[in-house]
Amino acid sequence: MIERPPAVIDTHAHLDDARYNGRVEPVLARMRAVGVERVVSIGIDLSTSREAAALAEEYPAVVSAAVGLMPHDASEYDADYAEALEELTRRPGVVAWGEIGLDYHHQRSPAEVQRRVFLDQLRRARLLGLPVVVHSREAHDDTLDVLEEAAGFPLLRQPPLGVLHCFSGAERHARRAIELGYLVSIGGVVTFKNARDFQALVGRLPLEHLVVETDAPYLAPHPRRGKRNEPALVTLTLAKLAELHGVDYGEAARITTGNARRLFRLPDPANDPGDFCYQLGSNLYLNATNRCNNDCGFCVRRRKLGLAGHRLWLGREPESSELLECVDEAGGPERFREVVFCGYGEPLLRLEVVLKTASELKRRGARLRIDTNGTAQLELGLDASELIARLRPVIDHLNVSLNAADAESYVRLCRPSRGAAAFEAVKELVRAAIDSGLPVTCTAVEQPGLEAEAIRRLAEDLGASFRLRAFND
C-alpha cells in the first residue's frame, strides 16, 4: 500500500532568492509531494525579510517566515532599522527573528559591531517571545558567549530559544548550544562524501535536539550537490540523519519535525488540514487523500498547491463523516450536477472511505463519479472485477486516466509505482467496468508529443469514451 510520507519541516530556506525567478509555487508543490509540510523562509536584511513575510502571508499553509539582519551588514543597523524589523514581526506567519549572529569569515562588518547588533537583536526577539535563527561562521565560541550573555533577557525563557542554523562547529559547540536551550540544525553538508568527520559528529548528537534544513538555494545535498537546492531535497538530508542514528526515516522525521514545531511554536497541521472538498463549475469534488501510486510529470500537483484558491495538499486525511459534513456545508449534494471523488491523490487508495461516503450520498440522490488512475487495485490486493463489483452499486460514472497507448509510454509519462504492470491494470479496470455496465470515460492530458488518436482508439477498443484534457498550467 502507498503510505502517506512522514511529515518533514525545512527549517531554513531563502525562497526570495533570484534563482527561483519568482516561481515559488512549483517549488512548494514539489516539496509537499514528498512530505515536506512546511518551510521557514529566512530574511537576511530588511528587504529579504519583507519578502519572507510576504511569502508567509501568500502561502500561510506551507510557509512561515523569519526576519532579521545577518552579520554581514551589521554596520547598517540602527534604531530605525531595528524598529522596522520589529514591525515585520507583527505580520502573520512570522515565527522567528533571524538569521542573526556572527561571521568572522567575511568580516564585512567589524567584529565588535557584529556582536553589539547580534546582542540587540537577541534582546528584542526575547521581548517579543520569538526564537532566533543563529548564523555562525568561524565564530562559534564568540557566538555561544553572546547566547550565554543573553540567557537572562526577558521574556522568552522556555526552550527551544532558537536554532544554530547549518551547524558547522565542533561537538563541544553543539553540546554547549544544547545546554543553553538551543537546537542544532543539520544541512545538506552531512550528505557530502568528504564529510565523514562531520557525519560521525552528527551521529553522536541527540536527535531530540536536532532539526533539518536546506539553506536553499544553497548547499544542495548529495547527489544534487552543486545544483540549485530547494525544500523538497531536505528529505535527502533527513535520510542521511536517520542512517547516522540507526533509525528509520519515519522515526527521524517524527522527532525532528516535532522539534521544529516546538522551536517555531507551529500548530499541528491536523488542526488546519486543507480543503476536503472544493467546487469547480457545477461539480463538487471530494479530496480524500494526497497519496498516489503514480507520479505523473504533467500532474498539476507538481506545480500548484491547489486549484481556484482551494488548498488541496492536506495536513491529514479526512474521515467519511468529514467529507459528508463538507458536502452539507457546500449546500448538499442536490446543488451539484455531480459529486466527484477527485483531489490531489488517488481516491481509491481509500476505498472504504469512498464507499461509505458514496453510499450515503447515493441514498440522498447524488450523481457520483470517481476520477481514478485505474491502478489502485494493485495496492489494495484486489483484481479489477472485485473492485468494480464494490463500486458498481454506488457509482454512476468512472473517469480513468489512460494517458498512453502502450506500456512503455505509460511508464515514461506516469511513473507508476508498479511499473509496466500498471498499464495492464488500467486496461483491465476499464474492461471490468464496461462489462458491469458502468460507463467509463478514458482521459489523456494534452501535451507535446502525445499520441492522442492512438489513445482514443485504445479507449474505444476497450469500450469506453475518450476525452482529451487541457494541460493545467
**CATH of the domain spanning 8-268, picked from 3.20.20.140, 3.30.450.20, 3.40.50.620, 3.30.420.40:** 3.20.20.140
Q: What is the pTM of this model?
A: 0.86
Distance from the Cα of residue 462 to its chain's centroid: 38
- Which of 411, 431, 429 shows the shortest CA–CA distance to 421? 411
Residues of the chain with CATH 3.20.20.70: 273-469
In tens, the pLDDT along 81-114 reads 999 999 999 999 999 999 999 999 988 899 999 9
What grid cell was written down for 150?
543573553
CATH 3.20.20.140 region(s) of the chain? 8-268
Query: What is the rounded average pLDDT for all residues in the chain?
Result: 95
Q: What pLDDT does residue 267 have?
A: 81
Extract the residue ranges of the chain whose pLDDT is less than 70.
472-473
Instruction: Give dist(CA 26, CA 49) in Å, integer.
Output: 21
> How far apart (Å, rounded) are the C-alpha atoms in residues 359 and 353?
10
DSSP string, 35-57: TEEEEEEE-SSHHHHHHHHHHHH
* The pLDDT value given to residue 262: 95
Residue range 39-54, pLDDT digits in tens: 999 999 999 999 999 9
Kindly state which CATH superfamily the domain 273-469 is placed in.
Aldolase class I (3.20.20.70)
Q: What are the tens digits of pLDDT across the range 378-410? A: 999 999 999 999 999 999 999 999 999 999 999
* DSSP one-letter string for 142-174: HHHHHHHHGGG-SS--SSP-EEETT--S-HHHH
* pLDDT recorded at residue 2: 81
- For residue 345, the model assigns a pLDDT of 95
